[in-house]
Amino acid sequence: MTSYIYPKFGYRRSREQADGIVTRHPIVVVGAGPIGLTAALDCAARGQPVVVLDDNDTVSIGSRAVCYAKRPLEIWDRLGCAAPMVERGVSWKVGKVFFRDQLSYQFDLLPEADHQWPAMINLQQYHLEEMLVAKCRANPLIELRWKHRLISLKQAADHASLAVETPDGIFTMEAQWVIACDGANSDVRKMVGAEFTGQFFQDRFLIADVAMKADFPTERWFWFDPPFHPGQSVLLHRQADNIWRIDFQLGWDADPEQEKRPERVIPRIRAMLGEDTEFALEWVSIYQFACRRIDNFRQGRVLFAGDAAHQVSPFGARGANTGVQDIDNLAWKLAMVLRGEASEALLDSYHEERAHAADDNILNSTRATDFITPKTKPSRYFRDAVLELARHHGFARPLVNSGRLSTPTPYLTSALNTPDGDAVPGPMRPGTNAADAPIAVDGRPSWFLHCLGDGFTIVAFGEVSDKTEIRVGPFAAKLIIVGRDIEDPTGLLAQRYGASPGTTYVFRPDQYVAARWSGFDEAEITEAVLRAAGHDTADRTELAA
Amino acid sequence: MTLNLAPNITDPDDFYAELIDSQRDLDEEQALRMNARLILLLANHIGDRKVLTEAIGCARAGG
Ligand SMILES: Cc1cc2nc3c(=O)[nH]c(=O)nc-3n(C[C@H](O)[C@H](O)[C@H](O)COP(=O)(O)OP(=O)(O)OC[C@H]3O[C@@H](n4cnc5c(N)ncnc54)[C@H](O)[C@@H]3O)c2cc1C
């Protein structure tokens, strides 16, 4: 039924399997979904060669992720692939919520202008993966190995040993570090014996992709209890190529096998779109959702990311969006450890920061699910009361929860942060991802985030130093002076960073704020950079001396 | 602020009558739905999260 033609990436026997010589690789990624592919690109961007294993040889089958948020787009931009995604996808920022046959509330995700990337794009997961695969293939540091299924993993003190099955049989390879991105049913998770616990929701959803030429605006439309699907919720999203995604809530008693049949699905869609709208079914599946996370993102030499580490319900589009941010957090840390610039302890901060983010995502998506699927009659009364009141009264609108769309979780309590000392005003506290702003470089317009992301970066407002780099132990941190290296023609950069002359920020390689002060002090900068690289106090004192 | 548990309604009998009267012609389902709306309206008016938590706890404990 689908009009999309799945690419076949093709299996090739590797040299190491052919020669039968066990080779130790610095990084092996298991799983070439959106997170594994992003992991490969980010590790390569940080100078590390990567081997990716995937048991299949094509992209994600069927309809899964649709919405990608601004922060993942910023990360993919750092990896050189956001522009084609935005071009191929559809951008949106307005969401409408209907109750029965009335609009009850409307939201705008990015009311602030002057950001390079849209609040959200919609793009089929298979298109997105195809773009990531093309980008990986063009990178000499990345080797994609299709039809390579990991069948067992054994940990040693300084590496993991992997048994891999291919069409040519089973062979062994070794990895100093494994990034497990093998999805919600992760085999690797079972191989290391990690716990994966949480909550299953007693509800079923019908996911239908339809091809149609419709003049609905490019907005997210969510219905509670609409006349065409009484008692349940419905979500409509536009994707690329005139494909629309419709999610019908079915309830727990629905029979998944029956509900998937076109003779059941087509009347549901017809009731929604009207008799006159012509459409063709592209894809139908039934899902049941869970919110779960792994006990520890680091299990010895194995680092978990994406759905292998956490699963959320899709309301809020948090699955792939948060998985990409796992990688953003992990890749620079792993590269530093591999280069001997930081100790393995830095990798424990990966768990600390991303487990915190996963818990935040799970909390948000559990709350949305509770609103969408009230579990008792009284809770349904409260839910309906919110929706009724929201139509007329502003106070009830913030209570409407049809999914809080993915935004980055700040790491405000991370041990890598230097706590705010003297008060720099504004929201860019240590542990927050850098806000973008329009800037100019040599008179040409650019974006602030383009200055960040390559190692540690110091940004100071005003002529506080004539250096262009600050050396801290093994690191060379670029020093960017606003007014010398970049211009802030609109003043928005200073405004978003609460900056006055002398204000200084330290950014981590993942564009997060590590420290900020109202003045420029090299000793403080040194201390903050070392702390952000996970060096302990003794190290820091020695290197700072 | 803490939850005010001392009498605070100037005309208690009149208020109570108004509350009951407002639901006299509703069936049980309609009345329960109205109660939900009323709780939300009042909760928003109070706003103070600490007071709301106290009130929820007090109601839950049975008085
Ligand atoms: C209906 C639905 C809607 C969604 N909507 C959104 C959305 O709008 N936005 C969003 O951000 N997310 C959304 N998600 C979630 C998103 O699809 C997932 O979070 C995302 O696919 C996770 O990517 P991943 O790379 O971690 O895992 P996967 O995409 O599951 O990839 C895992 C890969 O590992 C491979 N693999 C598995 N086992 C092995 C093995 N033993 N050896 C080798 N390879 C192996 C698999 O073949 C696969 O290629 C949605 C999900 C669903 C189901």
- pLDDT of res. A544: 58
Which residues have C-beta within 8 Å of that of residue B10, sequence separation ≥ 6? none
Radius of gyration of chain A (CA): 24
Label residues A57-72 b or e (16+ Cβ within 10 Å = b): bbbbeebbbbbbbbbb
- Residues having CB closer than 6 A to ligand 1 are A 30-36, 53-56, 60, 64-67, 125, 149-150, 181-183, 187, 207, 287, 306-308, 314, 317, 319-321, 323
Are B33 and A399 an interchain contact pair (Cβ–Cβ within 8 Å)? no
Q: For A279-299, what is the mean pLDDT?
A: 94
Return d(Cα A534, Cα A122) in angstroms, integer. 37
Q: Which residues of B touch A396 (CB under 8 A)?
A: 40, 44
Identify residue A195 by its one-letter amino acid code: E
- pLDDT of res. A542: 67
pLDDT tens column, A1-49? 678 999 999 999 999 999 999 999 999 999 999 999 999 999 999 999 9
What is the CA(A183)–ligand 1 centre distance, in A?
5
- pLDDT of res. A55: 98
- pLDDT of res. A543: 62
Return d(Cα A472, Cα A286) in angstroms, integer. 53
Question: Which is it for the CA torsion A378, A380, A381, A387, positive or negative?
Answer: positive
pLDDT tens column, A501-530? 999 999 999 999 999 999 999 999 999 999
The β-bridge partners of A440 are A445, A487
Cβ A66 vs Cβ A214: under 8 Å: no
pLDDT tens column, A352-411? 999 999 999 999 999 998 999 898 999 999 999 999 999 999 999 999 999 988 899 999
ipTM: 0.97
Residue spans of the domains in chain A: they are 15-88+123-198+291-346, 438-544
A151 CA closest ligand 1 atom index: 41
B40 and chain A in contact, CB less than 8 A: yes
Identify residue A2 by its one-letter amino acid code: T
Residue spans of the domains in chain B: they are 26-63
Q: How much is the mean pLDDT over chain A? A: 94
Quick check: A158 pLDDT over 70? yes
* CA distances in angstroms from A543 to A86, A191, A388, A472, A529, listed in the order given: 44, 40, 62, 8, 11
Residue A541 — very low, low, confident or very high, per pLDDT cuts 50/70/90?
A: low
Q: For A152-176, what is the mean pLDDT?
A: 98
The two three-digit tokens of residue A269, written as one number = 């869609």
Task: Write out the H or E segment, with its range, that includes residue A115.
Answer: none
Are A388 and B39 an interchain contact pair (Cβ–Cβ within 8 Å)? no
Among the CATH numbers 3.40.30.120, 3.40.50.10860, 1.10.10.10, 2.60.120.380, which is that of A438-544? Answer: 3.40.30.120
pLDDT tens column, A204-256? 999 999 999 888 888 999 999 999 999 999 999 999 999 999 999 999 999 99
- pLDDT of res. A545: 55
Q: For B28-49, what is the mean pLDDT?
A: 98
Q: Is 3.50.50.60 the CATH classification of the domain at A15-88+123-198+291-346?
A: yes
pLDDT tens column, A303-334? 999 999 999 988 888 899 999 999 999 999 99
The DSSP secondary-structure symbol of A399 reads: G
